[in-house]
Amino acid sequence: MTSPTATLAEVEQDARERLAAASDEAALEAWRTGVLGRSGTLTGLLRGIGALPEAERKHAGAALNVLKQSLEAALEERRDALRAAALASTVADALDVTLPGRPMRRGRLHPVTQVRREILDVFARLGFATVEGPEVELERYNFDLLRIPEHHPARDMWDTFWLDPSTTEGVSMLLRTHTSPMQARFMETHEPPIRIVVPGRCYRYEATDATHEWMLQQVELLAVDEGLSMANLKGTLQEFARQMFGPQRKVLMRNSYFPFVEPGVELSVDCFVCPGNDPACPVCRGSGWIEIMGAGMVHPEILEAAGYDTRRYTGFAAGMGVERVTMLKYGITDIRNLYQNDPRFLAQF
Ligand code: PHE
């Protein structure tokens, strides 16, 4: 500290040492008040000049003013240095090249979405355009126009979620049980030639097990043109199976029944879990075959209802479950895995 008798050099040295020790804005401000402020050391010395003998006043005044300016400059310098250091350390933190990188979180498409796109791509290459229809459907399109009238036993093939009639102004509506209603919708507003695929969600009021879910995705296939036959249907589905599952996978077409096709078939792919004879196999149950789609020639009555000349036009249709195709492709044994949203499962695709 300075005493009244301290020399100028001592005052200066003391002030500079304390300035050098000030390490933030608050310390700088305290230093400024203590040295250059109204009751600061230097200010006190300046005030004392008047009491000096006449001969010394001029000299002392000039020296004090030089010191004052020099300390003011030193204060600014110190302030700049502190700010630069603070900035430098911020930048150094921001650019620390030794920090380990942050892992990139990459999203991915759900396996069922991937496979749906693949299916549509295969059919796009075969000349089929993609169209979509409503999930909340009229009974008329889901059933009646497909030759499945009320009380027809075939309705038992699709356990249905019905809409509360009080919310539909009495119109009979449901969650579509398959994508086939889009066959009737599309034919109603288009003329042949027709080649479309219809992807979409369907709903079934049934218990879930390893191969059944209450919500499923289907892809419907419809072709109407002159001269289409079972041979075209078979060729198209075989080509599809070859492109989706590779040439080593076997397919099987068997007689089946759907009211909207005649004849109707069922296309199956050979089991990928067991050798085809394990009764405990959760996927094929020992049959060796997994059904992936229903198909057939569009029933002539449906073509007629659309106003087509049935002597000229024939058509084929098919409908497949996207989840089943996904399971086949990836060897998934339980359909329920697909919609449980477990990241450990989903991250594998
Ligand atoms: N819509 C049928 C179903 O969901 C599948 C199908 C489509 C069968 C087209 C024949 C022709 O079971």
Distance set, CA 321 to CA 67, 128, 199 (Å): 91, 18, 10
Distance 308 CA to ligand 1 centre (A): 21
List, by residue number, the catalytic residues: 158, 178, 204, 218, 261, 317
Ligand 1 atom 3 nearest Cα: 178
Distance 293 CA to ligand 1 centre (A): 7
For residue 130, the surrounding DSSP H or E stretch is strand 129-130
* Identity of the amino acid at 341: N
Atom of ligand 1 nearest to the CA of 177: 4
Atom of ligand 1 nearest to the CA of 218: 4
Strand order in the sheet with 194-203: 129-130, 194-203, 215-226, 313-321, 289-298, 261-270, 251-256
Pocket of ligand 1 (CB under 6 A): 178, 180, 258, 261, 264, 294-296, 317-319
Secondary structure (3-state) at 228? coil
Ligand 1 atom 9 nearest Cα: 318
What's the chain's length in residues?
349
Atom of ligand 1 nearest to the CA of 264: 10
pLDDT-based confidence at 6, cuts 50/70/90? low
**pLDDT at residue 319 in the model:** 98
Please compute the mean of the pLDDT values over residues 77-97 and round it to a whole number: 84
Query: Which phi and psi angles does 270 have, rounded to 5°?
Result: -70, 150
Ligand 1 pocket, mutate which of 178, 198, 299, 316 (most atoms under 8 A from CB): 178
Q: Is the pLDDT of residue 3 over 50?
A: no
Residues 16, 22, 24, 25, CA torsion sign:
negative
Query: The domain 111-346: what is its CATH number?
Result: 3.30.930.10
pLDDT-based confidence at 323, cuts 50/70/90? very high
What is the C-alpha separation between 32 and 44, in angstroms, rounded?
Answer: 14
CA atoms within 13 A on the CB side of 7: 3
Residues 229-276: tens digit of each pLDDT? 999 999 999 899 889 888 877 788 999 999 999 999 999 888 767 888
Distance 180 CA to ligand 1 centre (A): 6
Atom of ligand 1 nearest to the CA of 183: 9
Residues 126-163: tens digit of each pLDDT? 999 999 999 999 999 999 999 999 998 888 888 999 99
Distance 81 CA to ligand 1 centre (A): 79
Instruction: Enumerate the β-bridge partners of residue 200.
Output: 218
pLDDT-based confidence at 301, cuts 50/70/90? very high
Please compute the mean of the pLDDT values over residues 297-311 and round it to a whole number: 97
Please compute the mean of the pLDDT values over residues 269-296 and round it to a whole number: 84
Any idea what DSSP says for residue 209? B
Distance 68 CA to ligand 1 centre (A): 97
Residues 19-29: tens digit of each pLDDT? 899 888 898 99
Secondary structure (3-state) at 162? strand
Provide the 10 A C-beta neighbour count for residue 67. 18
> Domain extents for the chain?
4-94, 111-346
Percent above pLDDT 90 for the chain: 54
Ligand 1 pocket, mutate which of 228, 258, 262, 291 (most atoms under 8 A from CB): 258
**pLDDT at residue 162 in the model:** 96
